[in-house]
C-alpha cells in the first residue's frame, strides 16, 4: 500500500524484473543492491513453470546518501539486467502513478477511486477523466479532478473519443488507463496501443452468461454468488490477464436490481485493489496470466 | 440442521408447499395448524415475481397429543392444499432421508458425507454406494455402508450400471441420489427418471472453461478464485437449478495439482450443504432456480 | 433493500411485531391482512427459545384501493395486537428514515453513507450531521447535507454537544442516530435516551484487545483477521446488541497503518449494512441480541 | 503443499532462517546457493520493523548431482549463517513431519488430519495418537495409526499423561505436537518443553468471551460470525503466536448446538492449514507473532 513512506520514512525504490529463469539471478541482483549501498526491505520472486520465466519485485532502501542512490543503483544493476536480458523497471516507492480514467454513466467506481486517492490511500494522480456521459462530472469537480465530456452517438464519435484518449495519454504522460465502467467496446487499435497499461472491470458469474443483461440471467438461473473481475485490456476485450476477482453471496430473494447494486459494490472493491497493486508495481504479466506480488 | 430434535425435544413436522400466488394462503395454512392443535415454530415464504408462484416452508410442533398430530394436521391442511391446488409435502423433522450415493475414484465427497452422517450432523441414511471403481470401498466399510462395484468399460456396462441405479432406487425407496464425483455422463432417460431428486457437484470458475482439464485452464488463465457448484441433475447435465456455490481464493503460485486439491475441499463443503438442505426440506424448485429456506 | 418500490410499483407496508410466543399468532395476523384486502408479499418470523418471544416482519401490498389501505389495515390488525399484547410498528416500504449522523475526524463512514443515500441505495434522509471536528464538512456540503460543528474541549463542551444532539433529535423528529466514528464516549443519560435507535460501529479483533491503540496491539499479536462490529448503543458502550459483523484477511506484512485502512473499509461496509437493515425495519431486538430479517 | 515433489520431480531443499536485519544477507545466502550448484525455486523474506529481525524461506533445487547437494549446500551456507549469527534449518521438501496428536472426545480435527494425511495432502506422519478418551480409536485404527488411551481422572493421572507425552516425543523423535481438541490444560512445564513445536486450536469470537460454554455466550450475545484460531502453545495457553484464523457467518436462528457444529468445521479447516504450513516450514516466529511464508 502507499503508506509505506509514512511508516518507513526513508525513501525507497522498487525494482521489478523478469527474464528467462536460470541459476544466479538473485545473487547477481542482490550483489547490485549491496554495491550501491542499499538494503533489501522487501523481496518477492516467482519462477513460472508454464513459461520458464523468472519474476522478481524488490524494495530497496538507501543505507547512506539517498539523494544519489538511484544513480548508483542503476549503474550497479545495469550489467545484471543486460547479462540476463531482463525486462525491468525502477521506480520510487509511493510515487503517484499518472492515471487516465474513462467513464460512462455509472458513478460507483469513479467515486471509490477518487475518494481513496484524495485520502492518500491510493498512489495515483488523475490529470483527466474522459466520459461519454455527464454523470460523474460533479464527483470529479468535488475531488478537483479535470473532467471532459464527449458524447458518443455514432462510430465517428467513438473514433474521435478514442483519438482523444490517445492524445490525452501522450499529453499527460499517462501510465495507467482505468476503464471505470466505461461501457464502450474499445477498437482493436486502442487495445493494442494500451496493452499492459489499461485495466477494465466487469461482473463475473458462475456459470458465465453470454449476451445482454447478465444480472437478469443470473437472477433467472438463481446463482448464489455474484462477483467482479479486474483484468488487463487486450484485443480480446474481457479475456485479458486477470488481476483480481471477488464475489458476494446472494440468495433467491434478491431482485435483479439488488443484484446490480451488490455487483457494483464488488466492482468498486475489485477495481480499487487492482489499481492499487498496479500503482505499487505489484502486477507482472506472465503470458496470459498475472503474477501479483502482494 | 438435524439437531433440532435434540435442542427442542418435542416432535415436529415440516410442511413445504407451492402454488399460484394469491391472497389468503398464509391465513388458510395457519388456520389448519391452529385447527390441528399445532404451533408454528419456524416459517419462511417467498413469492416469485418470475413465475408468479408462492413457496412456503413451515415447521410445526404439536401442542398436545403429538402421537396423533400428523393425522389431525393432514386432515386440516388437506382442504387448503386442494383449494389452492398446491404441490405439498409433509415430513417429520429430523427423519433421515434415504440416499443413494454414486461414486467413481474420488474419495473426498463420499468421506465428508459419511463422516457427518455418522456424527449425526447430516440427516441421511445411505443404504448403498454404487461405484464404477473400488476406491471408496474401504471408506464405505469403515462407516458400515453397503458398497457395490460395477465396472464401466463400454456403453453396455453403462446401461447396466444405470439399470442397477434405477433398481436400487426402487429397492431401497430412495429419496435422494447424490453424484459424489461420479464421473460418468448420465443418460437422458436416467436424468429424467431422477429429476428433482438427484444432486450433482462440479467445479466452478470465473470465467467458465469449456473442454478437458478445467483446472489446467484455470491455472493458465491465472484465476484468483476457484469454486464449486451443487445443482439438481437435469438432462442438460451441468445446467440444472443451482442449490449452492462457494469459492476459495488462490494466487499465481498454486500449481494445477494444488488447485485440484483446494477445489476438492470446496466441492466437499458445497455438496455437504446442498445435501443437508435437501434432507431438511429446505430446497424448493422454482422453474430453473431454487428457493433455499435456510 | 430500498429498491423494492422500483421493482414492485405497488405501494407496500411493512409490519414488525413481537410478543410472547403461543399458538395462533400467524393465523390471527394473516387474517387481518386478508380482512384489509391485502396480500402478504414477504414474511419472516422467529420464535426465540431464549426469551420465549415471537418476532415477525411482514410486507403487505394492497390488492385494491391502496390509498385507504393503511387505515383499513390498522383497524384490522389492532384487535390482534391487543389480544397478544404485541409491540408493533407499521411503516411504508421505502420511506426514508430520518437519520442524525454524529462524526469526528474520520471520513470513511460518512462518505459511504452519503454516497449511497444520494444514489438511492440507502433509504435514509439526513437532516443534520453534528461533529466535534470540521473534517467531514466538505463531504456534507457536496452531498447537500446540513453540517454543524461544535468543538469538544472539556466536559462542559461535551454536555453541550449532547444537549444539542437531543435537541436535534426533537427538532428533526429523528428516528435513527448513527455514530459514524464519533469518537466521544456518550453519557449514560444520552445512551438511555437513544436506546434502540442509535447505532455505533467499531473495529473487532480475535482475540479482543483492551486499552489504547488496538490496531497496534493487533499488529503486535499478528492477527490474521481484522473486522468491524455494528451494534446498538447501550449504556455499556461497546456491548449493545450486535447488528452486523464482518472481517478481512491480513498477514504479517501489514503495517499498523495498513491495518487501520483495511479496518476502515470493513467499518464502512458493516455500518452501511446495519443502517440499511434498520431503515428497512429488518432489525428487532430480543434481549441482548438482534433478530435480523433479511 | 506437499505435492511439489509430484509437480516438480527434482528433489528440493528448503532453508528457513532468521537473524538481525542488515545489508548483504540475501546476497550472501544466494551466493551460497550458486556455490553449491543450486537454483532458487522459491524465495520469500520479511524484515520485521517491530523486532529488527530478518526472516527468509528459500526452496532450492540441485542443478546437478542432487545426491550430494545437501552436503555441498550445508558447507556453502555454513559460513554465512555463522557470520550473521543466524537461526536456521535445512529440510527436504515434502519430507513427512513426525507428528504426535493429542485428543480427547471430539473427532472432527483428528478425522480431518488423518484423512488428508492418508490422501497425500498433508506432509505429516503420525506415529502415535494419545488420548484421555476412547472416542477417536476407531478412526485411528481405520487410518492405521497407533492409538493409546490413558484416562485422566485426577492430577496424578494428568501428570502421568504428560510424562507419557514427553516420553513419546523422545521415543518417536517428534517434531510437532498437535492438540486436536485435547481438552486438558497443559502444565507450564510441558508448555515450556514443547515451545515452538506444539499447535493448539480453539474457537474464536468477536467479541471474545471469558468463562465456561463460550458457544452459549456467543448465542446469547447474537454474534454474526464464529471462528477458530490455531496458535503455538505457550505457558499463556490461549495466547501463543497466532498461526491461522478463519470465521463462518451465522445468524440469530442458529441454536447453540448448531454453532458448535459450524465452529467445529472451522476448527478442522484452520488447524489443517496451520499443520500444513508448519510441516512445509512456512511458519516462523517473530516475538509474539508468526511470519507465514505462503
- Among B4, B121, B256, select the one facing D261 at the smallest CB separation: B121
**How large a percentage of chain D has pLDDT more than 70?**
96
pLDDT at A208 (0 to 100): 72
CB contacts, 8 Å: B138 with chain D: 142
CB contacts, 8 Å: B270 with chain D: none
**How large a percentage of chain C has pLDDT more than 70?**
96
Grid coordinates in use for D202? Answer: 480453539
What would the pLDDT profile of D133-172 be if each residue is shown by its tens digit? 999 999 999 999 999 999 999 999 999 999 999 999 999 9
pLDDT at B238 (0 to 100): 65
Query: What is chain D's mean pLDDT, rounded?
Result: 92
CB contacts, 8 Å: B42 with chain D: 253
Q: How confident is the model at residue D283 (pLDDT cuts 50, 70, 90)?
A: very high
Query: Which residue of D lies nearest to B140 if distances are taken between CA atoms?
Result: D142
Smallest CA-to-CA distance from A240 within A282, A163, A294, A179 is with A179
**How large a percentage of chain C has pLDDT more than 90?**
84
Taking the C-alpha atoms of residue C162 and residue C159, their distance in angstroms, rounded to an integer, is: 5
pLDDT at D65 over 70: yes
Test C45 with B47 for CB contact under 8 angstroms: no
pLDDT at D245 over 90: yes
Element (H, E) at D20: strand D12-20
Chains that touch C (3 or more CB pairs under 8 A): A, B, D
Active site residue D10: no
**Residue D2 burial by Cβ neighbours in a 10 Å radius (0-12, 13-18, 19+):** buried
pLDDT at A294 (0 to 100): 87
Test C253 with D219 for CB contact under 8 angstroms: no
**D260 Cβ contact list (under 8 Å, min separation 6):** D215
Bridge-based pairing of strands A97-103 and A124-131 is parallel
CA-based nearest distance B183→chain D, Å: 19
The chain C residues in contact with chain A (CB within 8 A) are 1, 3-4, 6-7, 42, 107-108, 111, 115, 119, 121, 138, 142, 253, 255-258, 261, 294
Test C246 with D225 for CB contact under 8 angstroms: yes
Quick one: CA dihedral A131, A135, A140, A146, positive or negative? positive
Test D43 with A40 for CB contact under 8 angstroms: no
pLDDT at B196 (0 to 100): 96
Interface predicted TM-score (ipTM) of this complex, two decimals: 0.91
pLDDT digit string (tens) for chain B, length 294 residues: 333 334 445 679 999 999 999 989 999 999 999 999 999 988 999 999 889 999 999 999 988 888 899 999 999 999 999 999 999 999 999 999 999 999 999 999 999 999 999 999 999 999 999 999 999 999 999 999 999 999 999 999 999 999 999 999 999 999 999 999 999 999 999 999 999 999 999 988 877 777 778 888 889 889 999 999 999 999 876 689 999 999 999 999 999 999 999 999 999 999 999 999 999 999 999 999 999 998
Query: Which residue of A lies nearest to D64 if distances are taken between CA atoms?
Result: A23
Cβ atoms within 10 A of the Cβ of C141, count?
12
> Considering only D8-17, D155-164, D220-229, which range has the smallest mean pLDDT?
D8-17
Q: How confident is the model at residue D3 (pLDDT cuts 50, 70, 90)?
A: very low
- If one compares D3 and D67, the residue with the highest pLDDT of the two is D67
CA-based nearest distance C22→chain D, Å: 18
3-state helix, strand, coil in chain A (%, to 5): 35, 30, 35
- Among C107, C138, C257, select the one facing A6 at the smallest CB separation: C257
Query: Which residue of A lies nearest to D35 if distances are taken between CA atoms?
Result: A24
pLDDT at A8 over 90: no
What would the pLDDT profile of A30-75 be if each residue is shown by its tens digit? 999 999 999 998 899 999 988 999 999 999 998 888 889 999 999 9
pLDDT at A5 over 60: no
Grid coordinates in use for D54? Answer: 530478518
Test C258 with A1 for CB contact under 8 angstroms: yes
CB contacts, 8 Å: B50 with chain A: 219-220
pLDDT at B204 (0 to 100): 87
- If one compares A22 and C237, the residue with the highest pLDDT of the two is A22
CB contacts, 8 Å: B31 with chain C: 27
CA-based nearest distance D70→chain A, Å: 17
Amino acid at each position: 500500500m502507499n503508506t509505506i513512506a509514512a511508516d518507513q520514512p526513508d525513501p525507497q525504490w522498487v525494482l521489478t524484473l523478469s527474464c528467462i529463469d536460470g541459476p544466479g539471478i538473485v545473487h547477481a541482483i542482490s550483489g547490485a543492491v549491496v554495491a550501491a549501498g542499499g538494503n533489501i526491505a522487501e523481496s518477492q520472486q516467482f519462477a513460472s513453470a508454464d513459461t520458464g520465466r523468472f519474476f522478481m519485485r524488490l524494495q530497496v532502501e538507501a543505507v547512506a546518501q539517498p539523494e544519489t542512490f538511484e544513480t548508483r543503483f542503476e549503474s550497479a544493476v545495469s550489467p545484471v539486467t543486460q547479462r540476463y536480458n531482463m525486462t525491468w523497471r525502477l521506480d520510487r516507492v509511493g510515487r503517484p502513478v499518472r492515471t487516465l480514467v474513462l467513464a460512462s454513466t455509472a458513478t460507483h467506481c469513479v467515486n471509490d477511486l477518487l475518494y481513496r486517492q484524495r485520502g492518500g490511500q491510493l498512489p495515483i494522480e488523475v490529470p483527466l477523466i474522459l466520459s461519454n456521459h455527464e454523470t460523474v462530472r460533479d464527483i470529479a469537480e468535488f475531488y478537483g479532478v479535470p473532467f471532459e465530456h464527449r458524447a458518443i452517438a455514432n462510430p465517428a464519435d467513438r473514433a474521435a473519443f478514442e483519438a482523444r484518449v490517445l492524445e490525452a495519454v501522450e499529453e499527460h504522460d499517462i501510465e495507467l488507463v482505468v476503464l471505470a465502467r466505461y461501457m464502450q467496446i474499445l477498437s482493436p487499435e486502442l487495445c493494442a496501443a494500451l496493452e499492459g497499461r489499461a485495466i477494465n472491470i466487469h461482473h463475473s458469474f458462475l456459470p458465465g452468461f453470454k449476451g445482454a443483461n447478465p444480472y437478469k440471467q443470473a437472477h433467472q438461473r438463481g446463482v448464489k454468488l455474484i462477483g467482479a473481475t479486474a483484468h488487463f485490456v487486450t484485443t480480446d476485450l474481457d479475456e485479458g490477464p486477470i488481476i483480481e476477482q471477488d464475489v458476494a453471496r446472494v440468495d433467491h430473494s434478491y431482485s435483479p436490481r439488488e443484484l446490480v447494486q451488490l455487483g457494483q459494490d464488488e466492482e468498486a472493491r475489485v477495481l480499487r485493489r487492482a489499481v492499487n497493486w498496479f500503482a505499487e508495481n505489484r502486477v507482472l504479466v506472465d503470458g496470459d496470466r498475472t503474477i501479483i506480488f502482494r
